[in-house]
Amino acid sequence: MLWLTWRQHRTQLLVTLGFLAVLGGVLFLSGQIAVGAANGETSLYCYGGGVPCREYDAGLEDLYQEIYPLIVLLPFVPLLAGVFWGAPLLAREYERNTHQLAWTQSVGRGHWLAVKFGVLAGCAMLAGLVSGQMFGRWLEMFPGKAETFAETSYFGAVGIAPAAWWLFAFTLGAAAGVLVRKTLPAIAITVAVFLAASIALLLMRPHYAEPVRTIGPDAAAKGALIVKVGRVAPDGRELNSLDDVPGCPRGLGKNACAQAAGYQDFTVYQPTSRFWRFQWTEAGILFAATAVLGGIAVGGTVRRRR
C-alpha cells in the first residue's frame, strides 16, 4: 500500500518538496545577506561598518520588503494541500469508478484508506512544520519581526500554526471529495471553506484570551495584537480616536489639544507574550475541526456500500 500511495501521489509530493526547497533557498539567501549586514560585512547595508547606523536599518528594511510579498501568500499555501492532495484523494476514485476495484482486493477498505490518508496527512503536517520553521528562523534575522502580532500574515506562517493549517486543508479536501464524489466541486468547496475558516479565525484571534487594557503610553503594546484604541474623556466616557474632541481642531495639533483638555488615550490589546499561547489555541481549534472532517471522510468511505 505504501508503494501504491507513493506511485499515485508522487507528483503532488515532489512538487510540494520542490516548492519548499525553492522557498527555503530564497529565505536562506536573504537571511545570509541579513547576517552579513548585521556583522558589518555588507557595506551596501551599513556604510563604514558602524553598527548601529541608519543605513544599516534602512538596508535591512529594504531587504525585508523585497521578501514581503512572499510572506503575504504563505498563509494560503496550505490550500494547495487541500486542492491537489485532499480533494482528488477519494473524489477521483469515485469519478473513475476505480474505488470498486480498489475496495474489492485483499486489502480491506479501512486498511486502504488508513494507509493513503495517514501517509498523506503525515506528509502535509510535516510540510507545514518545515515551512513554519524555515520562515520563523528567517524572521529572527530581522530585529523586532519575530514572535509578534505586528503583521497578520506572520501568525499563520510560523510555528505550529502552518502544520495545523496544512493538515486541516488536506482533511477538508478529502472530506469534500467523499461528500460530492466529484473532483472539481470538491476543490471548489475546499477553497470556499478554507477561506471562510481563515476569515473566521482571523476575527476570533483577538478573543482567544481576555485582552489587556491600558491608559496612556504602554511600551508592551508594541508589536501586540491591537483590539481597540480610543480616548477616555475626563468624565469617563470612551471615545473613538477619530471622534471630535470639543474645542480641539481636526488634524494637526488635535492630540496635544486633547491631552491638554484632560483626554487620555487607551489601548486594548493582546501582548506579544501570548504569541505561542495563541499559536497552540489556534492549532487546537484546527485540530478539532480536522478530527471532525476526518471522521466525515473515513465514515463516508467505510460505510458507503458502493
Parse the chain into domains and list their residue ranges.
1-42+52-209+277-303, 225-270
Please name the amino acid found at residue 255.
N
Digitized pLDDT (tens) for each residue of the chain, 306 residues in all: 777 778 788 888 899 899 889 988 888 888 777 776 666 555 444 444 454 555 556 666 677 777 777 777 888 889 989 999 999 988 888 887 777 666 666 777 778 788 888 889 999 999 999 999 988 888 887 777 777 887 777 888 888 999 999 999 999 999 999 999 899 999 999 999 999 999 999 999 999 999 999 987 777 778 889 898 888 888 878 877 777 777 777 777 777 788 887 888 889 999 989 999 999 999 999 999 999 999 998 888 877 655
267-300 pLDDT, tens per residue?
999 998 999 999 999 999 999 999 999 999 888 8
Round to whole Å and give the CA distance between 174 and 11.
17
Q: What is the pLDDT of residue 140?
A: 80
Phi, psi of 265 (to 5 degrees): -75, 145
Integer CA distances (angstroms), 55 to 42, 69, 178, in order: 11, 23, 56
203-234 pLDDT, tens per residue?
999 999 999 999 877 777 788 898 988 888 88
Round to whole Å and give the CA distance between 202 and 188.
21
The DSSP code for 13 is: H
36-45 pLDDT, tens per residue?
666 655 544 4
This prediction has a pTM of 0.83
Q: Is 268 helix (H, G, I), strand (E, B) or coil?
A: strand
